[in-house]
Structure 1
Amino acid sequence: MIKFIYRVEVVKDLKLLPNIKYTQTHSCYYLPYSLENKQVLFTFFNDRGYFVDYKKLQIQKPIKRERLPNYYRVDREKLSAGDKKNLWKYVHYLRGKRYSESTVKTYYQFVLMLVDYTDKPVEELNYRDFEIFLEQVIAKGNYSISSHRQCVSAIKHFSDLFAIDPIDKDLNMLRPKKTRNLPTVLSRNEVIRILQVTKNLKHRAVLGLIYSSGLRIGELLSLQLQEIDVDRKQIFIKSGKGKKDRTVILAESILPLIYNYLNTYTPKKYFVEGQHGGAYSPEAIRSFLKKSCKHAGIVKRVTPHTLRHSFATHMLEDGVDLRYIQTLLGHSKPETTMIYTHVTQRDLMNIQSPLDRVVNQLRGTDNHKPKVGLSGEF
Structure 2
Amino acid sequence: MEKLQNITLRHLYFNEEKYIGIQFYPHKVVQALIKELPEPKWSKEHNMVCIKNTPQNLTAIFNKFKGVAWVNCSYFFKNRPVNTHGDGSGDVSWVEKRRTAKDYRPCPHEYLQKLALKKYSSSTIRSYVMYFERFINHYKHLEINSLNELHIRAFLEQMVKNKSSNSALNMAVNAIKFYFEIVQDMPNRFYEIERPNKEQKLPKVLSKEEVKAIIANTNNIKHRCIVELLYSAGLRRSELINLKISDINSDRMMVRVEGGKGNKDRFTLLSATVLANLRRYFVQCKPKTYLFEGVGEAQYSAASVKAIVSKAAKKAKILKLVSPHMLRHSFATHLLESGADLRQIQILLGHNSLKTTEIYTHVASHTFNNIKNPLD
TM-score interval (norm. to shorter)? 0.5 to 0.7
Q: C-alpha displacement at 1:144, in angstroms?
A: 4.2
Cα deviation 1:219-276 (Å, max 9, x = unaligned):
0011111111111111111110001100111011222211111111111111111133
Q: Which structure: greater strand fraction?
A: 2
Q: Compared with structure 1, are the counterparts of its residues 301 and 90 closer, same or farther at alpha carbon in structure 2 (3 Å cutoff)?
A: same
Q: Compared with structure 1, are the counterparts of its residues 74 and 234 closer, same or farther at alpha carbon in structure 2 (3 Å cutoff)?
A: same
Equivalent position to 2:253, from 233, 253, 267 = 233
Could you state the TM-score of these two structures normalised by the residue count of structure 2?
0.67
Q: Compared with structure 1, are the counterparts of its residues 307 and 123 closer, same or farther at alpha carbon in structure 2 (3 Å cutoff)?
A: closer
1:291 aligns with 2:316: no
Amino acid at match of 1:151: A
Matches within 5 A, 1:99-178: 99-102=119-122, 103-119=124-140, 120-136=142-158, 138-139=159-160, 143-160=164-181, 161-162=183-184, 169-171=191-193, 173=194, 175-178=195-198
Amino acid at match of 2:127: T
Cα contact 1:122–1:162 (8 A) shared by 2: no
Equivalent position to 1:75, from 100, 103, 111 = 100
Comparing 347-356 and 103-112, the one that deviates more: 103-112
Amino acid at match of 1:112: E
1:182 aligns with 2:210: no
Cα contact 2:177–2:190 (8 A) shared by 1: no
Distance 1:232 1:162 in 2: 46
Q: C-alpha displacement at 1:135, in angstroms?
A: 3.1
Equivalent position to 2:361, from 320, 331, 341 = 341
- Where structure 1 has 5 or more consecutive residues not aligned to the other structure, the ranges are 1-72, 357-378
Q: C-alpha displacement at 1:90, in angstroms?
A: 2.5
Q: C-alpha displacement at 1:142, in angstroms?
A: 5.4
Equivalent position to 2:272, from 247, 252, 267 = 252
Aligned-residue identity in percent: 37
Comparing 147-156 and 104-113, the one that deviates more: 104-113
1:316 aligns with 2:336: yes
Q: 2:286 maps to what in 1?
A: 266
Distance 1:180 1:197 in 2: 33
Q: 2:12 maps to what in 1?
A: none
Cα contact 1:118–1:133 (8 A) shared by 2: no
Q: 2:347 maps to what in 1?
A: 327
Q: Compared with structure 1, are the counterparts of its residues 333 and 76 closer, same or farther at alpha carbon in structure 2 (3 Å cutoff)?
A: farther
Distance 1:207 1:168 in 2: 43
SS at match of 1:100: coil
Cα contact 2:361–2:367 (8 A) shared by 1: no
SS at match of 1:108: helix
Q: C-alpha displacement at 1:79, in angstroms?
A: 4.9
Cα contact 1:326–1:337 (8 A) shared by 2: yes
Amino acid at match of 1:152: V
Q: C-alpha displacement at 1:301, in angstroms?
A: 2.3
Amino acid at match of 2:239: E
Q: C-alpha displacement at 1:208, in angstroms?
A: 0.5
Q: Compared with structure 1, are the counterparts of its residues 287 and 170 closer, same or farther at alpha carbon in structure 2 (3 Å cutoff)?
A: same
Cα contact 1:74–1:116 (8 A) shared by 2: no
Amino acid at match of 1:75: T
Comparing 347-356 and 293-302, the one that deviates more: 347-356
Cα deviation 1:110-163 (Å, max 9, x = unaligned):
222222221111243122221232233x44555543232122011112233548
Distance 2:298 2:163 in 1: 34
Distance 2:283 2:127 in 1: 37
Give 1 or 2 for the bigger CA radius of gyration: 1
For the aligned residues, what is the CA RMSD? 2.6
Amino acid at match of 1:92: Q
Q: 2:241 maps to what in 1?
A: 221
Distance 1:326 1:163 in 2: 34
Q: C-alpha displacement at 1:317, in angstroms?
A: 0.6
